[in-house]
Amino acid sequence: MAGLFFDDYDTPVFRPPSEADSFILRVTRGCAHNSCTYCNMYRGVKFEKLSDEQIMRQIAIAYSVDRDGVRRVFLADGDALVLPTERLLKILNTLKKYFPNLERVSSYAAPGDILRKSLDELKQLREAGLQLLYYGMESGDSQTLKDIRKGVNGEQSIEVGKRVRAAGMDLSIMIILGIAGVPGSERHALATAHAINEIKPTHLSALSLMLYRGSELKDQFERGEFTPLPPYGLMEELKVIVEHLDLPETEHMIFRSNHVSNYIRLAATLPRDKEKLLADIDESIRYLKSKKNYDVYNHDWTK
């Protein structure tokens, strides 16, 4: 169903790589928070909750095009969970009614939206079919979260993750390597490892910081107020995070570092593959250090 295009898709639609084959159902436009300093995804997009009629129109088209083929649905845009629980339940029940082979519904979730929902509400959403949330935690460090204006502190980030897991949902956490720059790297790494140990997400993705045009962080960089890590520094930061992960043997957290922003692709199941992952990271550090002429300021950082 990917590739549907009509007037409810008139501004950019973002989705995780793993939702490439999903029916992207837009229930909001933009992001209600829209304040994170590193993000330019919805800059200039006026936030809006789509009407029942707009949502139904998309469902009706997907139904008429490929009723039996819709197995996965991704609720867009940046924070669909900002919708009241009643409306989300209605949407989830409608999806179940229209698509007989529906297996999974997922969504991005901003931390403030999850905190505004009780555990009971999250359980209701899980029972209605919302199985997976993608949560851009970015860091477990309160100072870093404050600097990037994520809207929550480290403790709240952990509370968000634990609540989602307690509701029985799968949780894919995204963290950003380099988000605290050179001065905050170790603090960010240690607090992030602590948060992951507390939350025990089902999936963990490590993205690399990119300084996107139009983002406030890029302006800070250009004013000399933010010092990014070199590529090998990102891997050194990841090494500190992985070294400090202390997950029970019974956990099977899928780790991926395969976003378009990453210099090196890594994959592991943790804690089982921890030593192998650390060896891969060491090799990555050696490789990236050997790229002596690599100029981070004229490569991806500024694109």
**Cβ proximity to ligand SF4, 27 vs 59, nearer residue:** 27
Closest separation in Å from C-beta 6 to ligand SF4: 23
Structure tokens, 294 = 């690599």
Q: How far is the CB of 38 from ligand SF4 (least distance, A)?
A: 7
Q: Applying CB under 6 A, does 110 fall inside the site for ligand SF4?
A: yes
- Tell me 114's DSSP state: H
Q: Please give the residues from 24 up to 43 whose contact with ligand SF4 meets the rule CB under 6 A.
A: 31, 33-36, 39, 41-42
In whole angstroms, give the CA distance from residue 286 to residue 278: 12
* 8-state DSSP, 36: -
Give whichever of 15 and 264 is closer to ligand SF4, judged by the CB atom. Answer: 15
**Nearest residue (CB) to ligand SF4, 114 versus 281:** 114
Binding mask 41-60 for ligand SF4 (x = CB under 6 A): xx------------------
Q: How far apart are CA 249 and CA 224, in angstroms?
A: 44
- For 262-284, b/e burial (b = at least 16 CB within 10 A) is bbbebebebbeebeebeebbeeb
Q: How far is the CB of 42 from ligand SF4 (least distance, A)?
A: 6
- Residues of the chain by 3-state class (helix, strand, coil), percent to 5: 45, 15, 40
- Which positions from 219 through 258 interact with ligand SF4, judged by CB under 6 A? none
Q: Tokens standing for 170?
A: 């799968």
- Least separation in angstroms between residue 113's CB and ligand SF4 is 9
Shorter beta-carbon distance to ligand SF4: residue 35 or 101 = 35
Q: Which is nearer to ligand SF4, 138 or 280 (CB)?
A: 138
Q: Which of 1, 72, 76, 78 binds ligand SF4 (CB under 6 A)?
A: 78
Of 150 and 281, which has the nearer Cβ to ligand SF4? 150
Helix (H) or strand (E) run with residue 32 in it: none
d(CA 26, CA 245): 36
What residues from 133 to 162 belong to the interface with ligand SF4 (CB under 6 A)? 136
Q: Which string of DSSP letters, residue by residue, matches 205-222? A: EEEE----TT-HHHHHHH
CB of 41 vs ligand SF4, minimal distance in Å: 5
Give the nearer residue to ligand SF4 in terms of CB position, either 204 or 245: 204
Cβ-based neighbours of 115, under 8 Å, separated by 6 or more: 152, 156, 159, 160, 163
- Nearest 5 degrees, angle CA 110-CA 179-CA 186? 120
In the complex, the smallest distance separating the C-beta of residue 255 from ligand SF4, rounded to whole angstroms, is 21
Least Cβ distance, residue 287 to ligand SF4 (angstroms): 30
- DSSP codes of every residue in 57-86: HHHHHHHHHHGGG--EEEEESTTGGGS-HH
- Comparing CB distances to ligand SF4, the nearer of 212 and 301 is 212
3-state secondary structure of 1: coil
Binding site for ligand SF4 (CB under 6 A): 31, 33-36, 39, 41-42, 78-79, 110, 136
